[in-house]
């Protein structure tokens, strides 16, 4: 069986998102549940650099973790700004 390796399109965001989740002291499954997902797949793909969450998702995350608002916004702002400086 051939495995497909998915390209890491957002490695900076992946690392920062992983660090942020660790700061929240949550597992992928716990964060997924807090954000209304039924499984940890989406969280795993963000942390793997495969997916980049939408602004809607980021706003929802801020609403769930208001004490981390600036940190959450900074994580995703870095990725968004990359397209303007590269």
The residue ranges of every structural domain in the chain are 11-85
pLDDT at 17: 86
3-class DSSP string for 7-51: CCCCHHHHHHHHHHHHHCCCCHHHHHHHCCCCCCHHHHHHHCCCC
Class of the CATH domain delimited by 11-85: mainly alpha
pTM of the predicted protein model: 0.73
List average pLDDT for each run of 10 residues in the chain, which is 86 residues long.
57 84 94 91 91 84 89 77 57
Assess contact for 72 and 58: CB atoms under 8 A: yes
Q: Say what the pLDDT of residue 22 is.
A: 94
């Amino acid at each position: 069986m051939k495995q497909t390796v998915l390209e890491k399109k957002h490695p900076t965001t992946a690392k920062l998102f992983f660090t942020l989740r660790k700061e929240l002291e949550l597992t992928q499954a716990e964060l997924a549940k807090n954000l209304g997902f039924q499984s940890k797949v989406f969280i795993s793909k963000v942390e793997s650099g495969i997916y980049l969450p939408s602004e809607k998702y980021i706003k929802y995350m801020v609403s769930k973790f208001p004490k981390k608002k600036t940190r959450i916004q900074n994580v995703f702002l870095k990725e968004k700004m990359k397209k303007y400086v590269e």
